[in-house]
Amino acid sequence: MRCKDSLLGSSVMATNRIHPEGDLRMTLTNIFKALNTWRASDSVASSVSRSSRSGIAAVEFAIILPVALLLVLGSLQSAQVFYLQKHLLAAAQSATRTGTIQGSTEAQVKSALSTYLSVTDIGADYQSTITGVGTTSNGDSLVTVQVTHNVALFAEIPAMGWSTPTIPISASVTMRHE
């Protein structure tokens, strides 16, 4: 059986042997012959010099590099946003638990919130809303703590004069008084 490769213009001789099982298989010898014939007749690879091939590789790298960097940096930025969201939620839960204790004050809730966030990347850069602290404990009163933080998406480039885009992330927790 003669096969013609339309891209390279080479023809390869391959024989099929029918095995007793009924399936067609190519012998290893014929496969190696076909590979050697294909390599020898590869006119595209033989006509391009080594320096041209390295130039082609450099162009391909220059095209792929920005896309790869965008994917890597986008993944890192997403991980940072999820990390900060987790800490906001944990801080809001801690502050809300403090607010549900009988006789607690709003100052104690704010202190619990700032204590938790001071050891994270958020620090003091957040806004909080606290409601329901200090009300009577009749079983129906709720304490709600909402925390918001603006995350800078990319590092600021002062030489270019670009401003850093930010997105707000927030966490809100509501619990009943004890």
109, 115 in Cβ contact below 8 A?
no
Arithmetic mean of pLDDT, 130-143: 75
Q: What band does 153 get if pLDDT is binned at 50, 70 and 90?
A: confident
pLDDT of residue 149: 92
Asked if residue 65 has pLDDT above 90, the reply is yes
pLDDT of residue 103: 83
Least confident of 13-27, 35-49, 86-100, 153-167: 13-27
pLDDT of residue 124: 82
Q: Cα(first)–Cα(last) distance of the chain, in Å?
A: 86
Cα dihedral sign for 35, 48, 6, 11? negative
